[in-house]
C-alpha cells in the first residue's frame, strides 16, 4: 500500500493529462521496473537471467499493486519491462503480464524495455532461438520501444522471416506517437512551447534549493533518543568531534545516491555541523573509506572523540556498497565500521550521536542496545542539502518527523532468507519467516513506520464508521476448509466453515460508494513545533462471527498500511488528519487462487503513533443482518451491487 501510494503521488504530480485539464505539465511519467524485479546481482544470480518464481497470490497482492496504482491513479503513460523472467517467461516477452497493464489497468501510452532487456531474452535467458525471435516475442507481447539495438538491428529481418507483421510495428508506433502528440511535440518550434526556454539557470534556483532542503528535512528518521539527548544546545557545546569516512564528503555517492543530477552547492554533514559550532568542530575519517576494511584512522578518531564535548559518528552505506547491479550480502555495517562506532562511544566523555546513511535497512542492534550511543538518526541519501538538514535536526532547528519506509531486520534474516526466494508469506515448515511488515513473523531491529520526535503526540478519533452494509445479492458463499474448517476428532471428516465474500471487486463500479473517512485529531504535547505522520493500518485481528466461524482468508496480511497523512503542528496545538479508506481496495485480500476478495464480518483498523496502538472494529455486513451474521441464502448471481447504509459513527478507539 505504501509503495502504491508513493507511485500514485509521484506520477500524479508530473504526468501529461489525457482527459483534459486546466494546466497539464506536459510530461510523460514512466513506471519501472515491471515486475517482480527484486534481484540485481546476488550470490550466483544475475538480473539478466533471474527467473522469479511468484505465486498468483503474491503477484496480485504484492508485486503488481504499485504498477497498477502508478497507471490507474497516477496516470503514467509509460511502463518499463524488466530484465528478469517471471515463472519462466521473460517479462518483456510476456503477453500475459504486459496486456494486464493495457486491458486491466487502462495504460494509454507505450511500453519500453529496460536497456538491452530484449537482447537478454536471447543472449542470457535463451528463451528463444534467435535475435529475430526475441524481437518478435517482445513486439507481439506489447513492447513498443527497445532501449538498445535489437529492434534497430533485427526487426527488418524478423519481418522478412514472417515473424513480425506490419501491424505489430504500426501498433508500436501508434502507442509511442500518441503520447508525443499529447505532449505537443509536433506543434511547431519547441522553443516556443511551455518548457522551451528552460536551461541550467533554472535548476539551482532558490526555490529548488529550498525544496531540496525540505526533502532532506522530511526524510530524517530519529530511531533512538535516550533521555532526550538531542537536540544539542550550541551554547553548551564547546567542541564537537565529527567522525566517519563519509562525514566530510559532498559527493553524490554519499549524499545523492544513484542516478542523480548535478547538485547545487552541496554541503557535507561535517560542513553542516560546522555551520552551528564553527571552528569548534574537528574531523577524523576513522576509516579510509566506507568499506572500512582496516583500522587505519581509528586512533585519530578515538583521539578527537576523547577531547570533544560531544561526538557525532557518521556510519552506513554509499554507492560502493549498494548500487545498480550490486546487491548487499549482509545487513551489518560494512567492514570495521562497528568497531569505529563502539571505540568512539567508549572514548567520548558524553554518549555519542550516530548518523546512518544509505538506502536500506541495517542491523545496528549493537547501537540500539548500547547506552553509550544516546541517539541514532537515519538520513538515507539526503541530497545536496543533507548536511544542513542533519545539522538542523541535531541542534534543534528541526523537530524530526520521518518514519521508516521499510522493516529493519536483524542479520539473521539475511542468513535465513535467500534473496532469490520471492515468497512473501511465512512458511513454518521450512522456517521461512516471510517478508515485509505485512507478513514477517520474526524479531526486528526497528519496525516499519518507526520514527521518534522531540515532541510527544496524542490522538483523538474524530470520526470513523462502525458498520457498512451490502445487499444480500452482492454476496458469494462457499464452503471451504481453508477458510477455517476443522477436522473432527476420530473420523477424519471436516466441518467446513461458511466463508462469505465479495468477488470481482475491480468490476464493481459501486465500490466507490463504500468509501469512508477516518478523521484523527493530533495534539503536539512537546515544546517544539513539529510535523507528524499518522499511520492507519488494517489488521488480521478478527473475532469469530456467530454461527459462521473465523472469517479469515488463508495468507491474509498480518497488517497493512491503508492510509497516512503528515500534519504540521505547533507546540501545544492540534491538527487534523483525514484518511480516505476504500474497502474494496484497502480491506480486501487476495486469496490463494489470485482472486481479490472482500471478507464480510469484522475488520479492525489500527492507529500506530509509535508508542502504542489503538484499534477500532468496523463491521462489513449484509443489509438486514447483524454484525458478521449473514441473511439466508446469499446469491451467486452476476452484476452484484454494493450500497452504503448510513454508517454509524464511533467516537473512540479501543
Residues labelled catalytic: 114
Distance separating alpha carbons of residues 36 and 435, to the nearest angstrom: 14
Kindly state the cell numbers that stand for 370.
Answer: 548500547
Distance separating alpha carbons of residues 615 and 538, to the nearest angstrom: 9
Is residue 403 within 8 A of residue 535, CB to CB? The reply is yes
Distance separating alpha carbons of residues 76 and 148, to the nearest angstrom: 22
Nearest alpha-carbon partner for 244 in 268, 278, 275, 219: 268
Give the chain's radius of gyration (CA, Å): 27
Is residue 64 within 8 A of residue 31, CB to CB? The reply is no
Place of cell 573509506: 289
Question: In this structure, how many other beta carbons lie within 10 angstroms of the beta carbon of residue 395?
Answer: 20
ω into residue 231 within 30 of 0, thus cis?
yes
Helices (H) and strands (E) in the chain, counts: 18, 30
Distance separating alpha carbons of residues 271 and 485, to the nearest angstrom: 64
Distance separating alpha carbons of residues 219 and 389, to the nearest angstrom: 9
Distance separating alpha carbons of residues 117 and 110, to the nearest angstrom: 16
Is residue 579 within 8 A of residue 563, CB to CB? The reply is yes
Is residue 334 within 8 A of residue 317, CB to CB? The reply is yes
Give, as one character, the DSSP assignment of residue 102.
Answer: I
Place of cell 533471474: 50
How many CA atoms, within 13 angstroms, populate the side-chain half-sphere of residue 133? 11
The SS3 assignment for 136 reads: helix
DSSP string of 384-396? Answer: TTHHHHHHHHHTT
Give, as one character, the DSSP assignment of residue 649.
Answer: B
ω into residue 347 within 30 of 0, thus cis?
no
Place of cell 563519509: 246
Distance separating alpha carbons of residues 58 and 61, to the nearest angstrom: 5
Place of cell 464480518: 601
Distance separating alpha carbons of residues 227 and 572, to the nearest angstrom: 21
Distance separating alpha carbons of residues 594 and 55, to the nearest angstrom: 8
ω into residue 373 within 30 of 0, thus cis?
no
Amino acid at each position: 500500500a505504501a509503495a502504491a501510494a508513493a507511485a500514485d503521488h509521484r506520477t500524479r504530480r508530473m504526468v501529461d493529462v489525457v482527459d483534459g485539464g486546466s494546466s497539464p505539465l506536459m510530461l510523460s511519467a514512466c513506471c519501472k521496473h515491471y515486475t517482480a524485479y527484486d534481484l540485481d546481482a546476488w550470490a550466483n544470480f544475475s538480473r539478466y537471467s533471474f527467473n522469479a518464481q511468484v505465486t498468483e497470490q503474491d503477484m496480485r497482492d504484492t508485486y503488481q499493486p504499485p504498477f497498477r496504482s502508478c497507471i490507474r491513479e497516477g496516470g503514467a503513460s509509460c511502463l518499463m519491462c524488466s530484465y528478469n523472467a517471471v515463472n519462466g517467461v521473460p517479462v518483456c516477452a510476456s503477453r500475459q503480464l504486459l496486456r494486464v497493464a493495457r486491458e486491466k489497468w487502462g495504460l494509454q501510452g507505450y511500453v519500453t524495455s529496460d536497456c538491452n532487456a530484449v537482447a537478454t531474452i536471447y543472449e542470457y535467458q535463451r528463451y528463444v532461438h534467435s535475435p529475430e525471435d526475441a524481437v518478435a516475442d517482445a513486439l507481439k507481447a506489447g513492447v513498443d520501444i527497445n532501449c538498445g539495438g535489437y529492434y534497430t538491428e533485427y526487426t527488418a529481418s524478423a519481418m522478412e522471416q514472417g515473424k513480425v507483421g506490419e501491424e505489430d510495428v504500426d501498433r508500436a508506433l501508434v502507442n509511442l506517437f500518441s503520447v508525443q502528440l499529447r505532449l505537443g511535440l509536433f506543434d511547431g518550434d519547441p522553443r516556443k512551447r511551455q518548457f522551451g526556454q528552460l536551461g541550467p539557470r533554472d535548476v539551482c534556483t532558490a526555490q529548488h534549493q529550498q525544496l531540496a532542503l525540505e526533502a532532506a528535512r522530511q526524510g530524517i528518521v530519529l530511531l533512538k533518543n535516550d533521555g532526550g539527548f538531542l537536540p544539542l544546545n550550541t551554547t553548551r557545546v564547546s567542541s564537537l568531534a565529527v567522525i566517519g569516512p563519509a562525514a566530510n564528503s559532498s559527493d553524490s555517492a554519499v549524499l545523492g545516491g544513484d542516478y542523480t543530477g548535478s547538485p547545487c552547492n552541496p554541503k557535507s554533514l561535517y560542513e553542516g555541523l560546522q555551520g552551528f559550532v564553527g571552528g569548534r568542530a574537528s574531523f577524523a575519517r576513522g576509516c579510509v573509506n566506507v568499506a572500512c576494511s582496516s583500522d587505519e584512522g581509528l586512533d585519530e578518531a578515538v583521539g578527537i572523540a576523547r577531547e570533544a564535548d560531544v561526538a557525532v559518528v557518521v556510519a552506513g552505506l554509499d554507492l560502493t556498497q549498494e548500487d545498480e547491479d550490486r546487491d548487499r550480502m549482509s545487513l551489518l555495517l560494512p567492514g570495521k565500521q562497528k568497531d569505529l562506532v563502539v571505540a568512539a562511544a567508549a572514548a567520548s566523555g558524553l554518549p555519542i550521536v550516530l548518523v546512518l546513511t544509505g538506502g536500506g535497512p541495517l542491523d545496528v542492534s549493537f547501537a540500539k542496545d548500547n547506552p553509550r550511543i544516546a541517539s541514532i538518526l537515519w538520513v538515507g541519501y539526503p541530497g545536496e542539502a543533507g548536511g544542513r538538514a542533519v545539522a538542523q535536526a541535531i541542534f534543534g532547528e528541526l523537530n524530526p518527523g520521518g518514519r521508516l519506509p521499510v522493516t529493519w531486520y536483524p542479520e539473521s534474516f539475511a542468513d535465513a532468507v535467500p534473496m532469490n526466494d520471492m515468497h512473501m508469506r511465512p512458511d513454518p515448515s521450512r522456517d521461512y519467516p516471510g517478508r515485509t511488515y505485512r507478513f514477517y513473523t520474526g524479531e526486528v531491529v526497528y519496525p516499519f513506520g518507526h520514527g521518534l520526535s522531540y515532541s510527544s503526540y496524542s490522538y483523538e478519533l474524530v470520526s470513523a464508521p462502525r458498520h457498512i452494509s451490502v445487499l444480500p445479492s452482492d454476496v458469494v458463499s462457499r464452503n471451504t476448509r481453508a477458510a477455517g474448517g476443522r477436522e473432527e476428532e476420530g473420523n477424519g471428516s471436516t466441518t467446513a466453515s461458511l466463508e462469505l465474500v465479495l468477488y470481482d471487486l475491480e468490476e464493481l463500479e459501486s465500490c466507490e460508494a463504500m468509501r469512508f473517512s477516518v478523521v484523527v485529531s493530533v495534539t503536539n504535547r512537546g515544546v517544539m513545533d513539529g510535523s507528524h505522520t499518522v499511520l492507519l493500518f488494517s489488521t488480521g485481528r478478527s473475532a469469530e462471527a456467530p454461527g459462521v466461524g473465523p472469517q479469515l482468508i488463508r495468507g491474509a496480511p498480518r497488517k497493512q498500511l491503508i492510509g497516512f497523512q503528515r500534519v504540521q503542528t505547533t507546540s501545544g496545538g492540534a491538527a487534523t488528519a483525514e484518511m480516505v479508506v476504500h474497502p474494496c481496495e484497502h480491506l480486501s485480500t487476495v486469496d490463494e487462487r489470485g482472486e481479490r476478495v472482500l471478507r464480510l464480518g469484522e475488520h479492525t483498523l489500527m492507529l500506530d503513533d509509535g508508542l502504542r496502538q489503538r484499534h477500532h472494529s468496523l463491521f462489513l455486513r449484509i443489509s438486514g443482518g447483524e454484525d458478521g451474521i449473514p441473511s439466508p441464502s446469499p446469491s451467486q448471481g452476476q452484476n452484484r451491487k454494493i450500497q452504503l447504509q448510513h454508517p454509524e459513527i464511533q467516537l473512540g478507539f479501543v
